[in-house]
Every structure is written in structure tokens, then in C-alpha cells.
Amino acid sequence: DTGVSQNPRHKITKRGQNVTFRCDPISEHNRLYWYRQTLGQGPEFLTYFQNEAQLEKSRLLSDRFSAERPKGSFSTLEIQRTEQGDSAMYLCASRTSGTGFYGYTFGSGTRLTVV
């Protein structure tokens, strides 16, 4: 297992188009997180899954955003009708649940540019 994988690495799209990102977590990790990071800021929590269940969504996740994790493996994050304000790095992270919290393993992110 080579870690958390995110595709694509970069995405340029026109305003109003839909985009979808994919995250493949570490295989034994049952929790998967999506964060958004804008330039000069720290990551902001969007949503997380435990197995296939989406357990929490941030208020940052507007109705145009949807995330899925079918079968509790990979996850997709879709943004509909993209806006220029959606331009950011979208980070995926994973971990195992259970006793103790040893942080996440992050992917390299997908950089979205909306033009």
C-alpha cells in the first residue's frame, strides 16, 4: 500500500461545470476525510466517512457539493456548477478508528482552478 492516493492532481474547469475528484485511502483505514485548503490557509474540514457512512458534514459543504464512499473503499467528491470561489486544494485523509488518535495520513491533494 503506497498511502493515500488522489486523482487528478490538477483540474482546471470553466465556471459552471461539474467536477469529480477521487480518493483511494490506505486499505485498512475505515475513516476517510475531505478537507479544503485555500492559498495561505490551513485545511478546513468538509466531511468524513466511517466505512460507507457519511457521519458529519461541515457547513462549508454547500448543496453543490456531494461526497460518496461506496462499499467503504474509495471516495469521490463532486462539485456541481463550480464557482471561482471553489478554487482550492482538496485534500483527502484517512485513518483507523479505535482507541487513541494518531492523526491522519494525507494524500497529495487535487488542486482545482475554476476559470
Partner 1 sequence: AQTVTQSQPEMSVQEAETVTLSCTYDTSESDYYLFWYKQPPSRQMILVIRQEAYKQQNATENRFSVNFQKAAKSFSLKISDSQLGDAAMYFCAYSPNNNDMRFGAGTRLTVKP
| Sites of contact with partner 1 (CB under 8 A) | 31, 33, 40-45, 48, 56, 89, 91, 93, 101-109
Cβ neighbours of residue 33 closer than 8 Å, sequence gap 6 or more: 45, 46, 47, 48, 49, 92, 93, 94, 95, 104
The smaller minimum CB distance to partner 1, of residues 45 and 74, is found at 45
Min separation Cβ 90 and partner 1, Å? 11
The smaller minimum CB distance to partner 1, of residues 91 and 112, is found at 91
Q: What's the rounded Cα separation, in Å, for the pair 83 and 55?
A: 26
The smaller minimum CB distance to partner 1, of residues 5 and 80, is found at 5
How many of the other CB atoms lie within 10 Å of CB of 79?
23
Min separation Cβ 8 and partner 1, Å? 14
**Helix (DSSP H) and strand (DSSP E) numbers for the chain:** 0, 11
Min separation Cβ 89 and partner 1, Å? 7
